[in-house]
Homo-oligomer: A and B are copies of this chain.
Amino acid sequence: MDFSYTSRTSQMLDRLRHFMADQVAPLETRWQRTLDHGGNPWDLPPGLEEAKQAARSQGLWNLFLPDRHFGAGLSNLEYAPLAEAMGHSHLAPEVFNCNAPDTGNMEVLVHYGSTSQKETWLEPLLAGSIRSGFCMTEPDVASSDATNMQATVRVEDETVIIDGTKWWTTGIGHPNCKVLIFMGLTDPEAPRHQRHSMVLVPIDTPGVRIVRKLTVFGDYDPPYGHGEVEFDNVRVPADHVIAGPGRGFEIAQGRLGPGRVHHCMRAIGAAERALELMVRRGLDREAFGRPLAKLGGNVDRVAEARMAIDQARLMVLRTAWLLDEKGIEGALSEVSQIKAIVPAMLQKIVDDAIQIHGGAGLCEDFPLARLFGYARSLRLADGPDEVHRAQVARHELKKYRD
């Protein structure tokens, strides 16, 4: 047992942090200024493409992808601390081409994509020249139970016909978003885990309609956005199905482990940023003759934040290690655990940080309001807390049943 990062991770982390300070932080500031001055929030943030080129030229690119041929070849455990560092800014993942859902989509294409799919979609995604969306959750059913899914993917000869309405398709508002991975029901009679398919759908295919962009607590989260997307008799060639019909569930499972590690580590980075803001504000401002940080229960709140972050980080790192060592089957309880632990932890810390900021914490002057929306969404995205806790309990009960 050893709790130190490998020298490779340490070195990359060091370079990444410098890049964050030198290039990403100013980018975020400039972007906020653009928004404050009424710039079109759906345009590309100024300087973003330059920052991406710089990241790529410095080898800080596609770090999430363990595949040595297509990506950086880092293990989950090696990448995790880098994801945490990226979590300090919501623009960082794109700068390093490590943004969701592109990461998951690229992984899918690496493992399951045909040669032609790789050429058409994986390459520009790896190059950061396009972005992608993922269409799974549906507005009309409780999507926490995957068997509720109503959208359909019908295969007719050489054509696939797609129907249904999806929402919470993140990134749909980005000007570079060019392709969607759509999941739907192909064969309701097939064995339970072979009923669904995933299909690549170019965003300009006839019948694809962005019904609206959704707000999160009133915020559209530009330039990414979250969309409700209608698919009305959308037709694509049958070779757009990934890995063939009926393999949707299998592919979805494969996305889960690493994706949750990425999400969670970024959320931990965000929590560190919130804690730093909490402490700095608590030291800067005084009331009743003492700095806020030392008044009443604030001492407890700072301590609890530190303890919660450090515990959560170790859990995620261990989960990354388990994924590396034993694969998803050896980490099923753990990937659910981190998904239940980390977003709730982040929400609590952001809430406390807001409180110490007073009204400033609610508005655009600090990233806290945005972080709150991010944390709150994460408690629902990729399964609500309740489903993850139920999964954890199921594993626990299984130990004593037979």
Residue A21 at the chain B interface, CB threshold 8 Å: no
A42 within 8 A of B: no
> Are B302 and A393 in contact (CB-based, < 8 A)?
yes
Residue from the list B139, B217, B358, B373 in contact with A143, Cβ < 8 A: B358
Q: Which of B139, B300, B401 contacts A296 (CB 8 A)?
A: B300
| A303→B389 contact, CB < 8 A | yes
Chain B residues near A215 (CB-CB < 8 A):
218-219, 362-364, 369
Residue in B closest to A354 when the chains form the complex, CB atoms: B376
Residue among B217, B354, B361 making CB contact with A219, cutoff 8 Å = B217
Q: Which residues of B contact A298 (CB under 8 A)?
A: 386
Number of A interface residues in the complex (CB < 8 A) = 100
Across the interface, A279 reaches (CB within 8 A) one of B217, B280, B300, B400, namely B400
| Identical copies of this chain, number | 4
Docked-complex contact A341 and B311, CB < 8 angstroms: yes
Q: Which of A288, A337, A393, A399 has the most CB of B within 10 A?
A: A393
Q: Which of B292, B314, B373 contacts A142 (CB 8 A)?
A: B292
- The segment from A109-117, A233-241, A251-259, A377-385 found at the interface with B is A377-385
Taking A279-B399, A310-B337 as contacts, is the C-beta distance between A321 and B3 under 8 angstroms? Answer: yes
Interchain nearest-CB distance for A276 vs B (Å)? 7
A144 at the interface (CB under 8 A from B): yes
Are B315 and A285 in contact, with the CB atoms below 8 A?
no
B359 near A137 (CB under 8 angstroms)?
A: yes
Hey, what's the 0/1 contact readout for A304-335 against B, CB within 8 Å counting as 1? 11110011101101100110010000000100
- Please, which residues of chain B bring their CB within 8 A of the CB of A355? 379-380, 384-386
Query: A250 contacts the other chain (Cβ, under 8 Å)?
Result: no
In the bound complex, what is the Cα–Cα distance between A322 and B295 (angstroms)?
30
Most B CB within 10 A of own CB, among A148, A369, A370, A377 = A369
Query: Would you call A372 an interface residue if the criterion is a C-beta within 8 Å of the partner chain's C-beta atoms?
Result: yes
A332, B247: Cα distance in complex, Å: 51
- B3, B218, B279, B305: which contacts A318 (Cβ < 8 A)? B3
Q: Which residues in chain A, 235-294, are within 8 Å of chain B measured between CB atoms?
A: 275-276, 279-280, 282-283, 285-288, 292-293
A359 to B379, CA, bound (A): 10
Q: Which of B280, B303, B397 contacts A340 (CB 8 A)?
A: B303
Kindly state whether residue A96 has any CB partner on chain B within 8 Å. no
Known: A139-B360, A215-B363, A279-B400; 11 extra A-B contacts, CB below 8 A, are A168-B359, A215-B364, A216-B218, A217-B217, A219-B219, A295-B386, A296-B296, A298-B386, A302-B396, A303-B388, A307-B340
**A293 vs B306: C-alpha distance in the bound complex, in angstroms?**
24
Quick check: A296 and B137 within 8 Å, CB to CB? no
Contact with B along A364-376 (1 / 0, CB 8 A): 1000011011001
Residue in A212, A305, A312, A360 whose Cβ sees the most chain B Cβ within 10 Å = A360
Which residues from B are CB-within-8-Å of A1? 2-6, 9, 77, 317, 321
Q: What is the minimal beta-carbon distance from A132 to any residue of chain B, in angstroms?
A: 19
CB distance B77 to A396 under 8 Å?
Answer: no
A387 CB to closest chain B CB (Å) equals 8
3 shortest A-B CB distances, which residue pairs? A218-B219, A145-B287, A217-B217
Write the chain B residue with the least CB distance to A217.
Answer: B217
- Cβ-defined contact, B362 with A333, below 8 A: no
Q: Looking at the complex, which one of B167, B384, B396 makes contact with A306 (CB distance below 8 Å)?
A: B396
